[in-house]
Structure 1
Amino acid sequence: MERSFTDQLGRVVTLNYPPKRIISIVPSQTELLFDLGLDTEVIGITKFCIHPIEKFASTVKVGGTKKLNIEMIRALQPDLIIGNKEENEKDQVEELMAEFPVWMSDIYTLEDAKNTIAQIGELVDKQPEAAYLNHLIHAGFTDLQTLALQNGIDKKVAYLIWRNPYMLAGKDTFIDHILVLNGLSNVVNEKRYPQVKLDELALLEPDLIFLSSEPYPFKEKHLEEIRNVIPRTKVMLVDGEMFSWYGSSLVKAVQYLFQLQNEIR
């Protein structure tokens, strides 16, 4: 039967329900679909959809999040494509929208993420499973906020996502919201992902500098070049998935962030 849903861009998406041939073009939402139990329904993913690894190995890849293989997607004949406004390219998504049901998310906060999990659960007929994930995420992040308050965590942080040029996660991002929930305030007031030079960053006097594992793969060797310019600030490598993946990985993020709070307090 046909059912219609409204996605997070306000578009009405009509599809055969429940969908049986799903393509996900966002890594965190791919992981969510598999965690909801859609082992056979997900027929296409991107080359960055690495979790769970056994599904990554056995599922058809349809290109990258920013460079989709449209012809391969057409050949798979999906009855649903699930994407995200920030992670996918508008022109490619609009091309797919002309031919297939495409449901888009648009996420900036933890509440947005929980709403997305619930909405995708309804979209794929897995409401109880989605509700359980949201229960775990809500309980875990409530405890994280409580712990941050109890331990008096109140530090200024710069969260670097790119090198050459250096780029930061700024305001109006999901990463920024996760930082705030853990007692951390962003040193930059610019929105989205501003560029910064290290001498400019030093003037902002962050207490902490986080080097994310993605999208740029910061390594130990990059710590020293920043410490040389900003020697009095603690510089740390952090797991970018734990700050930026907004699907079922948020369940895993809770334990990671508990440990991080203990390390920085």
Structure 2
Amino acid sequence: MRRKISILFIVLLLGLAVSGCINQPTTSTITQTKTTTSTITQTETVVKEPHYYPISVKDFANRSITIEKEPKRIVSLAPSITETLYYLGALDRIVGITKFDNFPADVKEGRTVIGGFSDPNIELIASLKPDLIIITSMHYKYLEQLEQIAPVVVVDPGNIDEIYEQLELFGRILNKQGEAEGVINFMKAKIEEIEIKVADKPKVKVFYIVWSNPLMTAGKGSFINDLITLAGGENIFEDVQGWPQVSIEEVLGRDPDVIVLPPHAGITREELCKSELSKTSAVRNGRVFVISDDDIVSRPSPRIVEGLEEFARLIHPQAFNYNVNLLVCNVTAG
């Protein structure tokens, strides 16, 4: 009997144990992952370009000039200088010009006229407080006085290559090398375009009248000689340097096919046709032409390519489908 009670007691304990295990709550272990956010601070380093000025340049007179600071008040003593600065986008820096400046059309607005080309008013120039004065070789007699006012740069281009040199020089002085390169590339592209059009055309003998009395022309080393050559012509006085005075007999002996004169040559085309030059082939065939504007062939500025195009149209009108009837002198010598 006791044995049964003992067995029953053991069974009861086992049941309670099993029951306790089943009903015991489950403990979960939660592992938390902590995320760390980092803030990155970027430090921007600004690298300043080195100062461009002061710079030293050599002008057309082979003079060394130091430009201490960026020129912002420029006096120009020649229309060609003003025009070149205009093409570089520096017209707003010009404070003084000559009375002969006429390009662009509004060039005189807001600027002081400092006198003529050969007779600038030095006191007036000084009153403008310029930081740069640009002159030509025609102004050497004023050089010492002008140097007392501001740095002076001399330019004196005599042909197209030297017009490029002038642009490069101004580009350096004004820190506008990119603009200068752009203008030079524009000029070269225009010249190339014209050269291609006249490449297969016969060379035409050309006489250009700079002035009628005394009779003057443009020879080798001049930009007008360059224009005639590039336009597909042959300057009959290419063997003479500069701006020579020539005789009627010399012109008749070289017998030009085309005569070109500017509007202000001291003679009209009608008068020319009644002169001794009426014996030339140019007049006999009616091939006497007047260019539209003296300035586009006489001023060494980027506008010279306009003069080139006009020369080419007059010398080889068929290459440009150009009608030259209005410019032909129809008077024929007997």
State the AA in 1 paired with 2:317. E
Summarize the Cα distance change of 1:235–1:155 in structure 2 as closer, same or farther, 3 Å threshold.
Answer: same
Partner of 2:244: 194
- Gaps of at least 5 residues in structure 2 are 1-52, 320-334
State the AA in 2 paired with 1:138. K
Q: Does 1:241 align with 2:291?
A: no
* Structure-1 separation of matches of 2:200 and 2:205: 18
Question: 1:40-189 maps to which residues of 2 (within 5 A)?
Answer: 40-85=92-137, 88-152=138-202, 154-188=203-237, 189=239
Percentage of pairs with the same residue = 28
* Structure-1 separation of matches of 2:105 and 2:232: 32
Per-residue deviation at 1:167?
Answer: 1.1
Per-residue deviation at 1:39?
Answer: 3.6
State the AA in 2 paired with 1:157. V
Given that 1:168 and 1:195 are in contact with CA atoms closer than 8 Å, whether structure 2 keeps it comes out as yes
Question: 1:182-261 maps to which residues of 2 (within 5 A)?
Answer: 182-188=231-237, 189-213=239-263, 216=265, 218-226=267-275, 229-233=278-282, 234-238=287-291, 239-253=293-307, 255-261=309-315
Per-residue deviation at 1:136?
Answer: 0.8
Partner SS, residue 193 of structure 1: coil
Per-residue deviation at 1:159?
Answer: 1.1
Size of the aligned set, in residue pairs, is 261
Summarize the Cα distance change of 1:257–1:194 in structure 2 as closer, same or farther, 3 Å threshold.
Answer: closer
Partner of 2:70: 18
Higher relative contact order (CA 8 A, sep 6+): 1
State the AA in 1 paired with 2:71. P
* Structure-1 separation of matches of 2:135 and 2:318: 35
Per-residue deviation at 1:12?
Answer: 0.9
Partner SS, residue 28 of structure 1: helix
18-27 or 66-75, which moves further after superposition? 66-75
* Structure-1 separation of matches of 2:259 and 2:114: 35
Summarize the Cα distance change of 1:48–1:262 in structure 2 as closer, same or farther, 3 Å threshold.
Answer: same
Per-residue deviation at 1:7?
Answer: 1.0
State the AA in 2 paired with 1:208. V
Q: Deviations over 1:31-73 (max 9, x none)?
A: 1212322243100111111100111344211122222222211
Partner SS, residue 163 of structure 2: helix
Partner SS, residue 106 of structure 1: coil
Summarize the Cα distance change of 1:202–1:98 in structure 2 as closer, same or farther, 3 Å threshold.
Answer: farther
* Structure-2 separation of matches of 1:146 and 1:165: 36
* Structure-2 separation of matches of 1:178 and 1:43: 32
Per-residue deviation at 1:126?
Answer: 2.0
216-225 or 120-129, which moves further after superposition? 216-225
* Structure-2 separation of matches of 1:159 and 1:95: 37
Larger Rg over CA atoms: 2
* Structure-2 separation of matches of 1:10 and 1:178: 26
243-252 or 46-55, which moves further after superposition? 243-252
Summarize the Cα distance change of 1:156–1:258 in structure 2 as closer, same or farther, 3 Å threshold.
Answer: closer
State the AA in 2 paired with 1:240. D
Give TM-score scaled by structure 2 length. Answer: 0.70
Given that 1:157 and 1:207 are in contact with CA atoms closer than 8 Å, whether structure 2 keeps it comes out as yes
State the AA in 1 paired with 2:66. T
Give TM-score scaled by structure 1 length. Answer: 0.87
* Structure-2 separation of matches of 1:120 and 1:102: 12
Given that 1:242 and 1:256 are in contact with CA atoms closer than 8 Å, whether structure 2 keeps it comes out as no
Per-residue deviation at 1:169?
Answer: 1.2
* Structure-1 separation of matches of 2:318 and 2:61: 37
- Gaps of at least 5 residues in structure 1 are none
Q: Deviations over 1:192-221 (max 9, x none)?
A: 22222334422221112111235x465444
